[in-house]
Structure 1
Amino acid sequence: MNLFTELALAHRLADAAGAAILPHFRTAMDAERKGDASPVTVADRAAEEAMRRILTAEVPQDGVHGEEFGVSEGRSGRQWVLDPIDGTASFLAGRATFGTLIALLVDGFPVLGIIDQPVQRERWVGVTGQPTTFNGQPVQTRRCRELAEATIATTGPHYFTAEEGDTFMTLAQQTDHRRMIMGGDCYNYALLASGHLDLVCEAGLKLHDFAALVPVVEGAGGTMCDWNGEPLHGGSAGHVLALGDPARLDDVLEAMGGAHNHAH
């Protein structure tokens, strides 16, 4: 699958989103509240609109699944999945750890992903069958000899149910928990791809939260799956694991209490 044209398009989408987002970063703005009470900003909408305009003009046959403006079904078996600002709370707090996520799914599976941090001008790109790059240079995850040495990250305990939180803490206690990272959203997966973190564990993610991460992490030598060790796809329930060293997967699943079924 040669995704040369699609990759060029994805870069233009990321550029357009960044241009829409940057004027609003660290400005006083009122966050509206969506039904699920997550803050939605002017920047979020402007960035998604900018990306959708390009897609409608250039690949009208492809589907588009965006966080802000829903799903438009395509007829090509291909779907662009957009999250203009992943990490809205960080964005509103003036933290440059949010990112724009762009993914291309073919028949429900992510084959291309971009994590873009426009403030710091950092861009991670993953394409199936190619090494992941950070600002054009190949990056690799790091090896992790044992779970006790692993640095684990999660966006925060408030995203877990009580049961999920217990499962997470059971796992975290078997890692080097003094170095545990809280907060970070998509940025943690980017750091894992670049070899700075070993493990990310989250629940409650939607397709637009995780689709772009998979090609980035896997192209850097890591692995992503759900809490049962199954591959992530359009129908996944949102329990997400990312490992820099795939050799630790069995240890992680065992530490989480065996692969008991977390599907809702």
Structure 2
Amino acid sequence: MDEDVAELGPETGLPSRVQSVDRALRLLEVVAATAPRGETVATLAGRCGLNRATAWRLLGTLEAHSLVERDPATNRYRIGLAMIRMSASAGYDGLVRRTRHILESVSEKTGETADLAVAGRHGVTYVGEVAPPSVMAINWVAREVPLHATSTGKAFLAWLPADEARRMLDDPLPRYTDTTLTDPDDLMKELAATRERGYAECAGELEPALYGVSAPILNRDGRPLGVFSIWGPVARVPVSRFAELGPLVVGAAAEVRSALLD
């Protein structure tokens, strides 16, 4: 068993670093480097120079705090929602800086709010947003919303393998409004239609008056890295406008992908 050895400060002789914390942080760095696919405990342990038992204990602690998450089907670890929220509170670093101009362009072109979100196992968290100056809009940045009741969440789910998407759903699915889909089978049918359409739609499923469309930002393997959304109140974004906004959100998601991957 590895010992939790602390290093001593050069001046005070007091502990300045705790080895287990160093190891946990190193694990977080390696998990982040394997995004979005993640890696198994054996591979992560090898890359960090740890024995498997130590890595397993550290990952278990990190998972308990939602800093990492484990896919039960593959046993691969990925960055968790707590890390996403902390990144959000820190200002989103390079992600939003590299895509801000796209958010601004789409908001100006449509007259509506444009959002950028990242996702985890149990929800999506918005990390960037631009609203028209003349519009009083709810700010969703750093908020987590459910996967099944938003166009953002449905755009993420629709580009996952169907069995993986179903495993990510709560059971039962919470109802937020009269239009929220709470039957997993009905939701899976909508996800299939969403993928065929190329973008997801939401007609007041989380908040009765909020309507919008979203498209996934895909990595080179075709998995969603994040989601781009356009939304607004139903008076300005009725269902009849989805056909206009859908291609725009697909194009914006493709622009973000190029900005991040090219």
Fold equivalence (TM over 0.5):
no
Larger radius of gyration: 2
Higher relative contact order (CA 8 A, sep 6+): 1
Greater percentage in strand? 1
